[in-house]
Amino acid sequence: MKSKSHVAPSDRVFIFDTTLRDGEQSPGYHMDGDQKVRLARQLEALGVDVIEAGFPISSPGDFEACRRIAREVRGPVVTALARAVKTDIDAVWEAIRDAERPQIHIVLSASDIHIERKLGLTRAEVWRRGAEAVEYARGLCDEVEYSPEDAGRADPDYLAETVERMLDAGATVINIPDTTGYCLPAEFGALVAHVMGAVRRPERALFSVHCHNDLGLAVANTMAAVGVGARRVECTVNGIGERAGNTSLEEVVMLLRVRQATLGFECGVDTTQIAASSQLLAEITGVGVQPNKAIVGANAFAHASGIHQDGVLKDRLNYEIMRPDDIGLSDNRIVLTARSGRHAVRHRLGILGISVPAERVDETFQSFLEVADRKKEVTDEDLIVLFGSPVA
């Protein structure tokens, strides 16, 4: 067993993408092998640090997809999920062993609810099973992640003892999951801080978090954990995942970028690939992104209010805290509606090359409002009818 520190630099946050595992196993998001490989290549271009390729024991198709990703993707760590049993661990190793940087990811329950009602075990039995699994996995692979499932509802002292034992067994990454999305940010941050402070030599491992969005707090809980020392975050493109989803990759990454001066953290993601990644996932799965989704929703850089349009046209900083091109979009969108003002209409007319005499502006703007009151959005074709053809 190698003796080395796995601690992260104090200002570096590593991005672990589980779109192909936790995201793909949620209803409506199933992908075949070719689709998973295609998305994995985009994640490579995006610059994530870790790709969780799947759950190899679950089906022959997922095993083969994981193996293809491990063989074809270079740069990121490639991992896959195993329960704390040898057959699962063997399946993961056989699937990802050809990766440039393989990692085995083991999950086993930590909350009393799960231990008693799901596993039918005692706390001591869980410790023993977990340690045996980690030791076995380390005999195969230098990098082993251990996730005490439902840590957000676990007894903090039992959780800390669990982590201590898994570190002693050889785990190189400890992932603290809020599996059910139950925690409040202050609670989750305190839990992660408690665990990291209670174990001996926490620098033996990289500490990670995996949060769910059942109460809409996945990103907030993730950032609370980063604030107390976690340096790897598990997340998904478009925030997809079980039930209400996982921590949204694009939201965490852009939080780190936009508020870098305050937070003091950075990551290695190429943010200009965010929009392409979001769009590819939607194309592959056939599931679109809600329009008001932060960062990648259709309305994230769209302005329909006349007050906002006027402000943005004068200076984008009035209403935009990031630029569309930061995530790979060409521009924002000025949407002409009944709430738009003259400034926005004149701006769009200028783009179309349409000139309206000054004496006709008020008259034609009233005509615009009449059309806008009947439609959700006034199109370029509507403007041409109202104001005349573009100047040749």
pLDDT digits 0-9 by tens, 275-293: 999 999 999 999 999 999 9
Backbone angles phi, psi at 153, to 5 degrees: -115, 10
Q: What is the mean pLDDT of the chain?
A: 93
Q: How confident is the model at residue 389 (pLDDT cuts 50, 70, 90)?
A: low
Give the strand pairing for 173-178 and 144-149: parallel
CA angle 36, 328, 262 (to 5 degrees): 105
Largest CA distance in the chain: 85
pLDDT over threshold 70, residue 391: no
| Arithmetic mean of pLDDT, 350-364 | 82
- Tens digits of residue pLDDT in 327-346: 999 878 788 888 888 888 88
Q: What's residue 390's pLDDT?
A: 61
Percent of the chain with pLDDT over 70: 97
Distance CA 351, CA 219 (A): 38
Q: What's residue 344's pLDDT?
A: 85
Q: How confident is the model at residue 388 (pLDDT cuts 50, 70, 90)?
A: confident
The amino acid at residue 133 is A
Q: What 8-state DSSP symbol labels residue 76?
A: S
pTM for this prediction:
0.90
Cα–Cα distances (Å) from 178 to 181, 212, 317, in that order, read 5, 6, 36
Distance CA 347, CA 313 (A): 8
What domains lie within the chain, and their CATH numbers?
14-285 (3.20.20.70), 304-387 (no CATH)
- Tens digits of residue pLDDT in 65-121: 999 999 999 999 999 999 999 999 999 999 999 999 999 999 999 999 999 999 999
Interhelix angle 60-72/86-96, nearest 10 degrees? 40
- Tens digits of residue pLDDT in 151-204: 999 999 999 999 999 999 999 999 999 999 999 999 999 999 999 999 999 999
Distance CA 351, CA 391 (A): 11
